[in-house]
Amino acid sequence: MDSHSSGSTSPPAIAERRMPATEVRAGLVLVAGLGHPVAGDYVAFVGQGARDEAVLLGDDPSHMAREWLRTVPEVPTVSNRGDALMIFIGPHVSEARRRELADLAELARRWSIGFVGIVGSFRVHLDDPAAEEAERFAFALFDNAVPGARVVVFRPGHLIGPQSAMGRALGWLAPLWPLIAPRLATCVLPPSELFDAIESERLEAGWPRVEAVAGRVLRRDRRAFTLLGVNTSWRDLLRRHRSGSLGQVVVSVAATILSWLLVGQLITLIVSSLARHWPAVRQLDVSVIRPRSFRELLALCHAGNIERVRVVGYNNGVNHFGHRYPGKTIVSTVRCRRTVLVRAGAGRLKADCGATVHDAMACLADGGEELHVVPNYSYVALGTAFFVPIHGSAVDYATVADTITRVVLYDPEHDRIVSAAREDRDFAENVYNLASSAVVLRLYLRARPRSRYDVRRETVSDATAADLLAALRDAEAGNVEIRQGHAASRTVTVARYYPDLDDLTGRALELPRDALGRLWDRLEENPITSYLMHALSRRVAWHTELFFTPEEFETFWSTHVPIPLRKIQLRYIRRDGLPHSPFRDEDRVSADLFLFRWDKKRFDAYTAGTLPNVRYNPGKHSN
């Protein structure tokens, strides 16, 4: 049998492959392509090994299944146990295909198949109801038919290979590449990567795994693997598939001329608009995936896919600071909050990773409590605060991470879920560690009774570094912030926030943050003003945050006047001793800086020459 052929298996071949039940052996992989062109490639891939043999059931797998069922007894035994059944269902299943799947499920039951692999589509993650229903139907069918089998779903991105429909389509459309804007991208995967993942799971022994983690026994329930592949622009994909023929060159020239007339931009706008309303089009414009549950998040973040994604929270790094991750798909956790925030007792809060500071404040307010740390801008995910120093409203707890008492993480490298208290090693090794591959699932944070704050502001002229350090170290205030409007200004404003005072003077605040922070939140609540705010920041502004030692701060304050800094905001952060923390070894002064992008080179030259060892906040640093 030609394993690369996409044609059906002939009846004589069926007769040749038919065997008594007692001859069925482990190592036989039945492959139902259901019209999927790469199924034959998978058969050839399995056949390259010395141990196993694969058989392609052909274009009518249910007919072949019925033929084979005649040779199989009603009650399976160890001697007639087959090895695996692989089914390529794609993103949708017709009624006719459902009947074929039912026949295949009966074959799997009779032969007591040990492993059933279902190849679906990554469109499940794009809110495509057809893809979701196809996967749900196939999984339930085989999970019920063969209770002892391991049923695993694989969700590949667009498969591009010699036999794939996508590969052929790219060859036809290649000369039109000039008409596609670079921002229109999707996920593409070589079939060999999918086959490697299938074989890794099919040959794995000892499932399900049971492990002891942090004193508790957790069962690994891994039943879905998404394999996105590289996030690639359609423009690059088409360009790679050019043949160089005279006809394609002529078409490319015409497409280039049309692109000058903005036809390409119009095509991109149409595709992006249709993708919002038509699920089938969403696969053409994939840059961000927003999983709806932890189960879906874990399917995207396993060891075989974690290098192809960047897990984020509210996505401010991309939207506001312009961070870019070439070749990776952004996975935002903002929808992983079906429980949103659940009260876990007085003085504690349990929150899913995608819940924002804003969500936390709203939940706690109903119980008369608040967070210890409230940043000026509250549309930031709590999961992000585990990896990035986010601060703004406390002295006792300078950052949100300071208030986290326990975290639940998924470790893709060892395929385990870890529940770690603050004193545990897993907590210390991952907090503030941007090199960690761990994914935050849930956090537990300290809360406190809700307060009102009296803000006392004073304007100080010609303040020295020693004066500012003394103000920042004020132990009686709940929070101290110092602002300088621009580097050349001779004055600074010192704001001290005092909670729970009896002699409030009418200036009491619900939250210890300034008017600018309240404005940012108001802008974020409206989609139009939110887009304008972030777009303006990416194109005009440049933000950074430096963490000075007291000595470095004295140097900065005595030398920063000539630098075109448009805003300086100072806070004080105490040493925490955590191995990956910017303030692990000593107290530091946080300096939140704003300047225009055209002044960045001058600022870079200044820091390189004057403060070569200063630490940056990597999560609050514009690209």
Residue 512 pLDDT > 80: no
Residues in the chain: 623
Mean pLDDT of all residues in 553-578: 92
Looking at the predicted structure, is the pLDDT value of residue 52 above 60?
yes
| 101 neighbors 87 (Cβ within 8 angstroms) | yes
Instruction: Reduce the DSSP state of residue 544 to 3 states and report it.
Output: strand
Residues 6+ apart with CB under 8 A from 178: 235, 252, 255, 256, 258, 259, 264
What distance in Å separates the CA atoms of residue 484 and residue 462, rounded to the nearest whole number?
11
| Sequence-distant (≥ 6) Cβ neighbours of residue 456 within 8 angstroms | 495, 496, 498
pLDDT confidence of residue 62: 60
More confident residue, 116 or 500: 116
Give me the sheet containing 588-596, strands edge to edge: 508-509, 453-461, 491-499, 479-484, 567-573, 588-596, 541-548, 615-616
At 306 the pLDDT is 94
User: Which residues are bridge partners to 310 per DSSP?
Assistant: 330
pLDDT exceeds 50 at position 553: yes
Q: What tens digit of pLDDT does each residue of 294-303 get?
A: 999 999 999 9
| pLDDT over 50 (residue 40) | yes
DSSP 223: -
pLDDT of residue 165: 81
What pLDDT sits at residue 417? 93
pLDDT category at 502 given cuts 50, 70, 90 is low
3-state class of 363 per DSSP? helix
Summarize pLDDT for 130-158 with one digit per residue, the tens. Answer: 999 999 999 999 989 888 888 999 999 99
222: pLDDT strictly greater than 70:
no
**What pLDDT is attached to residue 459?**
92
**Whole-number pLDDT of residue 339:** 53
Q: Is the pLDDT of residue 558 over 70?
A: yes
- Across the range 533-546, mean pLDDT stands at 89
Q: What is the mean pLDDT of the chain?
A: 82
Long-range pairs for 394-399: beta carbons < 8 A, 24 or more residues apart: 394/478, 394/479, 394/512, 395/474, 395/475, 395/477, 395/478, 395/479, 395/480, 395/572, 396/372, 397/372, 397/373, 397/446, 398/373, 398/571, 398/572, 398/573, 398/574, 399/373, 399/573
* pLDDT score, position 316: 87
Give the separation between CA 566 and CA 560, rounded to whole angstroms.
12
**Could you report the per-residue pLDDT of 6-26, keeping only the tens digit for each?**
333 332 232 233 333 334 344
Per-residue pLDDT tens digits for 74-102: 444 444 445 889 999 988 888 888 988 99
Q: What would the pLDDT profile of 157-179 be if each residue is shown by its tens digit?
A: 999 887 778 888 888 888 888 98
Residues 325-342: tens digit of each pLDDT: 999 999 999 998 865 556
Q: In angstroms, rounded to a whole number, what is the distance separating the alpha carbons of residues 360 and 393?
A: 15
Which residue, among 375, 310, 332, has the nearest Cα to 545 in the 3D structure? 375
Q: What is the pLDDT of residues 225-243, one digit of tens each?
A: 999 999 999 999 999 888 8
Contact call for residues 198 and 84 (beta carbons, < 8 A): no
Range with the largest mean pLDDT of 32-36, 341-345, 528-532, 545-549: 545-549
Question: Pick the residue with more confidence: 435 or 22?
Answer: 435
Q: Amino acid identity of 194? A: L
137: its two tokens: 């139907």
Averaged over 586-614, what is the pLDDT?
Answer: 92
Neighbours of 514 (CB within 10 A): 19
Instruction: Report in angstroms the alpha-carbon separations of 277 from 109, 121, 375, 542.
Output: 40, 19, 35, 35
pLDDT at 515: 65
- Residue of 526 and 366 predicted with greater confidence: 526
Render 423-478 in DSSP notation, one character per residue. Answer: TSHHHHHHTT-TT---EEEEEEEEEEE---EEEEEEEEES--HHHHHHHHT-SSSS
- What is the structure's pLDDT at 419? 95
- Rounded average pLDDT over 36-48: 86
What pLDDT, on the 0 to 100 scale, is given for residue 8? 33
Read off the amino acid at residue 547. F
